[in-house]
Amino acid sequence: MQIIDGSVTASKGFSANGVACGIKKRKKDLALVVSQVPCSFAGSFTTNLVKAAPVLWDQKLV
């Protein structure tokens, strides 16, 4: 595995967009990340020290 510095689209072949769907007030709160070709795994995680159980579980998978 290679860790690439930068945003979620720093990896070649990925694009992303976000929208405000009303979960949080006046913030983009839903993201879609798309790979141009089939891929096995890709992960983008919070840098917060406190992480919810699903985030920790996903980090272990990736």
Q: Which pLDDT tens digits describe the chain residue by residue (62 residues)?
A: 677 788 878 888 889 999 988 888 888 888 888 989 988 777 888 888 999 998 899 899 88
Q: What is the DSSP code (8-state) at residue 15?
A: E
Specify the pTM. Answer: 0.51
9 C-beta neighbours (distance < 10 Å), count: 14
Pairing of strands 30-35, 14-19: antiparallel
Domain positions in the chain are 14-61
